[in-house]
Amino acid sequence: MLRKIASLGALISVLAGGMAAAEDYPRTIRLGDVGFGFGTPYGVSLQAVADAKGFIAEEFAGTGVQLEWTYFTGTGPAINEAFANKQLDFASYGAVPNIVGKAAGLDTVILASTQGTNIFAVARPDAGIRTLADLKGKKVALQKATIIHWAALEALKKAGVEPGDFTLVDLKNADQLAAITAGSVDAVFGADFLLPLEEKGVAKVIFSSARDDADASGFGGFLVSRDFRDAYPEATQKVVDGYVHAAEWIADPANRDEVFQIWSRAGTPVPLIARSNADTDFKQAFNPRLDGEFQKRYRSALDFSVAQKLVRRAPDLTEWADPSFLDNALKQKGRDALWPERRGNAS
């Protein structure tokens, strides 16, 4: 009888332990990213690589947790809307929409840094423009209130060009292509969708952030909803572990061609992706640290968002970011040494 009671007690303990373990994780974890392409969109980011290679999925092997990936062609605003509607747990997207969402009341937490796109400027061959300094007095198109807008102003400032020195024309991507082809603007700031214009003789590249000024490349954050982080800290750690695994894998030059193949799922040909990233150091571009360099750039984007009247008050970056999960992930397998702390100017 005592043996039966002991066995029953053991069974209850096992079942209770199993229930407790199950409560450590949700049934589904929902991850969002910016998407591109026709039909089923895909990403061109670190998170897209984590998806394709299964780095986050393998962290949850044997738990029964399902990962749900969504790539938003509506970019940052669509991701903010999904967070607001409780349709996302994690997302990777640009700093400016990160900031706009947070200032509007989204209760998100920054877990890691994420890279943005390389920024390019192209100019009409007949406009007499060879460098950014030549944009004084010219008509320049870009999409306002985006990370590209921020990056363009940063790069132009270093070239000695202030906002009042040129005419800014607010156009979306497709309209930018039409405008410079028609000659109604002199130059355009955007992403690698501009590069085919040079092959067609419509424009020439005068600036590449990867080649000319890495500080003017796009960037953003890998965010989680505060509710998820607080309810599922172990699951949050596993997601960050997989995210950092992806960053480590991308940092290896031996994987560069496979990265391009993964990103080509978004519809961009591999040769164009390779050209766009020809000057990109993936180890540095995908550095996940929330260190002084990250803080310096983020504070610049915060100042930009206030100056452009995108937000009334900038969120407090110190309260917004939680580096604890990233710090734990970096301690694994010597990843601390892979990305040394950058001091920046985080005052």
Residue 247 CB neighbour total at 10 angstroms: 30
Angle at 233 between CA 231 and CA 239, to 5 degrees: 115
SS3 label, residue 237 = helix
pTM of the model: 0.88
The gap from C-alpha 266 to its chain's centroid, in whole angstroms, comes to 15
pLDDT reported for residue 117: 83
User: What's 200's domain CATH number?
Assistant: 3.40.190.10
CA–CA distance from 271 to each of 10, 37, 76, 192, 304 (Å)? 61, 16, 27, 12, 34
- C-alpha–C-alpha distance, residues 238 and 244, integer Å: 10
Supply the pLDDT for residue 23.
64
What residue numbers bound the domain in which 268 lies?
28-116+217-333
pLDDT on residue 345:
59
Based on the fold, state whether residues 249 and 325 are members of the same structural domain.
yes
Residue 325 lies in a domain: yes
In tens digits, the chain (347 residues) has pLDDT values of 333 334 444 444 444 444 444 468 999 999 999 998 878 899 999 999 999 999 999 999 999 999 999 999 888 999 999 999 999 999 999 999 999 999 999 999 999 999 878 999 999 999 999 999 999 999 999 999 889 999 999 999 999 999 999 999 999 888 999 999 999 999 999 999 999 999 899 999 999 999 999 999 999 999 999 999 999 999 999 999 999 999 999 999 999 999 999 999 998 999 999 999 999 999 999 999 999 999 999 999 999 999 999 999 999 999 999 999 999 999 987 899 999 998 875 44
User: Which residues are CB-contacts of 220 (< 8 A; sequence separation ≥ 6)?
Assistant: 92, 93, 94, 95, 97, 98, 113, 114, 115, 116, 147
Q: How many domains does the chain have?
A: 2
Picking from 199, 216, 233, the residue at the C-terminal end of a domain is 216
224 and 293 in one domain? yes
Residue 159 and residue 129 in contact, taking contact as beta carbons nearer than 8 Å: no
Which alpha helices (DSSP H) does the chain contain, by range?
2-23, 46-53, 55-59, 75-84, 95-103, 147-158, 173-182, 195-199, 209-212, 226-231, 233-251, 256-263, 270-276, 282-285, 292-307, 317-320, 324-331, 335-338
151 and 251 share one domain: no
Of 153, 182, 216, the domain-final residue: 216
Residues 108 and 194 in one domain: no
pLDDT at residue 334, as a whole number: 84
